[in-house]
Structure 1
């Protein structure tokens, strides 16, 4: 089958009706996001920016060990004196970490989803998938009401990881198993 010309593909794309509702929520977006993330069995803590360092320190104190963080994660987020941080850990070192602390690129209130594009403050994809615990810092301005708006903020050429709660899967008998394809425990700091 011969390939279709690019102009024909572009014309077909332009004919797609996009009259769908782009935004379902204008108010209460942060409340909705926190509610939906919690529905996925994740812990959500709403904090002011000034409380991020103390809250990160408090959450990590409950899980002794070293934590992987991106090299460009804001240093004030991980200034806990009692926690050991490994900046830009190697892939072999990831399995020995107690967890990871990262930022994100965007978050979606409607679905309770956090999106990492593995840019600034997010580290490589493996950092968000290998350690058993993941603490994600989400800034209020990163929370979009709905999927279309979030997708417009993202670069489709970057590696995107969509996080909707701790990793989980169910077998044919519907037995839920957590931690198979990523962290077993997800905590989110929603910075207001």
Structure 2
């Protein structure tokens, strides 16, 4: 008697063998409203609507603000950062550099080791950069370049400190898509991780960080 699993997999293989593998053009000329004064303020307002914290950072180096946030963590909680973060946060004894699978880069010792999920669970916070911020929705997008790290490091620690530059804020979702590379992995973040049960009891920190602190630089 033929095994049902073999029949199904056989049909899948046959379908894949006959599939059209020509390159598919994905249009990205989405209609978007022009940028206008107030987009940055709208972004801040929408991010705060999601119960996230926004801190405006003058200049272009948020290291001192990050230090203050980390210092306030209970028991001097440990922090993980991606290998390509452009701000030097590795002077702290409790900061660890995680490797980035996209670049193969690792920590200061060059070993390129990525922390396991179990190890990441021992870190209180993660600090990353971002790819884009969307004013209309208060959404932040990570594309997991070297300054943003692997998706795992932005999901496991309880606090995510995310640095967004003012020039990364765009008016709306279509404008964001025009800046994003469709070939890269993406994580879209709208506030801290949260969910509600059938009685609408809100629980935070279920699928990602319980707390989101956005540093808006520039």
User: Partner residue of 2:87?
Assistant: 75
Q: Is the 8 A contact 2:79 2:126 kept in 1?
A: yes
Q: TM-score, normalised by structure 2?
A: 0.76
Q: Which runs of 4+ in 1 moved over 4 A?
A: 2-7
Q: Distance in 1 between matches of 2:93 and 2:210?
A: 20
Q: TM-score, normalised by structure 1?
A: 0.85
Larger Rg: 2
1:49 deviates by 2.5
Aligned partner of 2:115 among 64, 86, 90: 90
User: Partner residue of 2:209?
Assistant: 183
The within-5 A match list for 1:1-192 is 22-23=32-33, 25-50=35-60, 52-63=62-73, 64-76=76-88, 78=89, 82=92, 84-88=94-98, 90-91=115-116, 92-192=118-218
1:183 deviates by 0.2
Structure 1: give runs of 5+ residues left out of the alignment: none
Structure 2: give runs of 5+ residues left out of the alignment: 1-14, 99-113
Q: Distance in 1 between matches of 2:212 and 2:97?
A: 20
SS at match of 1:115: strand
Q: Is the 8 A contact 2:62 2:87 kept in 1?
A: no
Q: Greater CA deviation, 40-49 or 22-31?
A: 22-31
- 1:7-43: per-residue Cα shift (whole Å, max 9, x none)? 9x97xx88xxx8x851165111110111100000000
Q: Distance in 1 between matches of 2:96 and 2:211?
A: 19
* Alignment RMSD (CA, Å): 2.4
- 1:93-117: per-residue Cα shift (whole Å, max 9, x none)? 1000011000011110110000000
Q: Distance in 2 between matches of 1:38 and 1:104?
A: 17
Q: Distance in 2 between matches of 1:167 and 1:39?
A: 13
1:5 deviates by 6.8
SS at match of 1:34: helix
1:51 deviates by 5.4
